[in-house]
């Protein structure tokens, strides 16, 4: 197996990882600030992807599609926050799970109703299509490289937002002490809507960006949502840094084990069973990773120690 192939897979893992980060960051932010576990986050991912596919279909512009994805997801986020979610901040996790599960049902069936059951396709913009040659002679799709860059850029922006701005200070204060920031005159319900919409926009962005390399269909959000949960469990709930590290770990593990494990097994057994056993085990690899983290540090790599 060549170094080029390995590097290519590492890049694939990174690309997958940064997209997971966009999902996990919103989830962990919403949990950290409002204490809410949001199963409908995957629906917002789907909303972003559908909005992008629809707008790209109408206008042919990828930039407009991305803007539409951000706007639609943020709007959907703000609407459900105001209509449903804010009634759940003081409820127990069971109620939050049920209500947001109900939102999944409504979003998924509603989308199927509007767009039908067939997948939509979102094309990679011409300027970003085709491979580029990286140092070392690796041919790699430009679009995927752009995704890595975009994901890292968003991560940086999020870090700056939280560490360096007024809103960030309020968000961090909100994680620690709800009453305190209310007492300081911050409009807490506006802040919560804002944080929720921000998380939603990140999910929508991820949906749109990934939608161009996969098909856009109902139910696309939940598998990603569950992976984002795995990321959060590994990284530690409420920690953006944990989400970042966890997302990269999960992205790389999933990609690399899936490619290399069958190859490794072939050294010990016949090709056919090695491939099937390898892919079975690889499908479980990130959950095994999660289990190991749970045994080692139950509150995650960067979680507050319980």
Partner 1 sequence: MTRETLFNAALLLGLIAVPAWAVLADEPFTITLATRAVILALAAAGLNIALGIGGLVSLGHAVFFGIGGYAMGILAHHAQSYTNLMDWPFVIPGTKFMPVIWLVAIVTSALAALVIGILSLRTTGAYFIMITLAFGQMFFYFAISWSAYGGEDGMSIYVRNSFPGLNTLVPIQFYGLCLAMLVLVLIFSARLRRAPFGLALNAARQVPARLEAVGMDPTRLKLVAFVISGVITGLAGALFADLNRFVSPSMFSWQFSGEIMILVILGGVGRLFGPVAGAVTFVALEHFLGGITEFWHIILGLLLLAVVLFARGGITGLIAGKEVRHD
Can you give the binding site for partner 1, defined by CB under 8 A? 31, 37, 84, 87, 91, 93-95, 97-99, 101-106, 108-110, 112-113, 222-223, 226, 229-230, 232-233, 237, 276, 279-280, 283-284, 287, 290-291, 294-295, 298-299, 306
Question: To the nearest whole angstrom, how small is the minimum distance from the Cβ of residue 96 to partner 1?
Answer: 8
Q: How far is the CB of 103 from partner 1 (least distance, A)?
A: 7
Which residue's CB is nearer to partner 1, number 84 or number 128?
Answer: 84
Sign of the CA dihedral with 231 first, then 232, 234, and 236 last:
positive
For partner 1, give the closer residue by CB, 105 or 160: 105
Q: State how far the Cα of 166 lies from the Cα of 184, in Å rounded to an integer.
A: 13
Q: Smallest gap, in angstroms, from Cβ of residue 151 to partner 1?
A: 22
DSSP string, 167-210: HHHHHHHHHH-HHHHHHTT--HHHHHHHHHHHHHHHHHHHHHHH
Q: How far is the CB of 102 from partner 1 (least distance, A)?
A: 4
Cα separation, 41 vs 77, whole angstroms: 9
User: Shortest distance, CB of residue 50 to partner 1, whole angstroms?
Assistant: 16
Distance of CA 33 to the CA centre of its chain: 18
| Side-chain half-sphere exposure of 82, counting CA atoms within 13 A | 9
Of 212 and 234, the one with the shorter C-beta distance to partner 1 is 234
- For residues 49 and 231, the answer to whether their CB atoms sit within 8 Å is no
Give whole-number Cα distances, 3 to 9, 139, 236, 275, in Å.
Answer: 10, 12, 33, 21
The CA distance from 177 to 174, in Å, is 5
Q: What does R_g of the chain's alpha carbons equal in angstroms?
A: 20
Q: From the CB of 4, what's the least distance to partner 1, in Å?
A: 27
User: CB 185 → partner 1: shortest distance, Å?
Assistant: 30
Judged by beta carbon, residue 141 or residue 236, the one nearer partner 1 is 236
Beta-carbon contacts of 156 under 8 Å, excluding residues fewer than 6 positions away, are none
Question: 25 or 52: whose CB is closer to partner 1?
Answer: 25
Q: Which is nearer to partner 1, 101 or 118 (CB)?
A: 101
Retrieve residue 297's tokens: 């540090």
Q: Can you tell me the distance from the alpha carbon of 243 to that of 24, in angstroms, rounded to the nearest whole number?
A: 6
What is the number of helices (H) and of strands (E) in the chain? 11, 2
Decide whether 112 or 172 has the Cβ nearer to partner 1: 112
**Shortest spacing between CB 206 and partner 1, in angstroms:** 18
The Cα 66–Cα 62 span in angstroms is: 6
Closer of 9 and 279 to partner 1 (Cβ): 279
């Amino acid at each position: 197996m060549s170094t080029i192939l390995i590097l290519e897979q590492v890049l694939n893992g990174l690309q997958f990882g940064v997209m997971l980060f966009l999902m996990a960051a919103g989830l962990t932010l919403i949990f950290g600030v409002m204490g809410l576990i949001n199963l409908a986050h995957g629906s917002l991912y789907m909303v972003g992807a559908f909005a992008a596919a629809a707008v790209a279909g109408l206008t042919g512009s990828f930039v407009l599609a991305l803007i539409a994805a951000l706007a639609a997801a943020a709007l959907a986020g703000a609407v459900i926050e105001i209509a449903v979610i804010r009634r759940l901040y003081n409820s127990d996790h069971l109620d939050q799970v049920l209500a947001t599960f109900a939102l999944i049902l409504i979003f998924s069936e509603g989308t199927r109703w509007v767009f039908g059951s067939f997948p939509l396709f979102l094309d990679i913009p011409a300027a970003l299509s085709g491979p580029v040659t990286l140092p070392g002679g690796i041919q790699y799709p430009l679009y995927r490289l752009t995704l890595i860059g975009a994901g890292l850029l968003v991560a940086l922006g999020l870090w700056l937002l939280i560490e360096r701005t007024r809103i960030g200070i309020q968000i961090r204060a909100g994680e620690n002490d709800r009453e305190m920031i209310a007492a300081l005159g911050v409009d807490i319900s506006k802040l919560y809507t804002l944080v929720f919409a921000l998380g939603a926009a990140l999910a929508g962005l991820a949906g749109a960006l990934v939608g161009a390399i996969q098909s856009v269909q109902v139910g696309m959000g939940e598998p990603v949502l569950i992976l984002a949960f795995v990321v959060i469990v590994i990284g530690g709930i409420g920690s953006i840094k944990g989400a970042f590290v966890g997302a990269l770990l999960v992205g790389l593990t999933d990609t690399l084990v899936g490619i290399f494990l069958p190859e490794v097994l072939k050294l010990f057994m016949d090709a056919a069973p090695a491939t099937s056993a390898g892919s079975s085990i690889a499908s479980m690899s990130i959950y095994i990773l999660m289990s190991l983290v749970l045994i080692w540090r139950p509150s995650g790599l960067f979680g507050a120690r319980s």
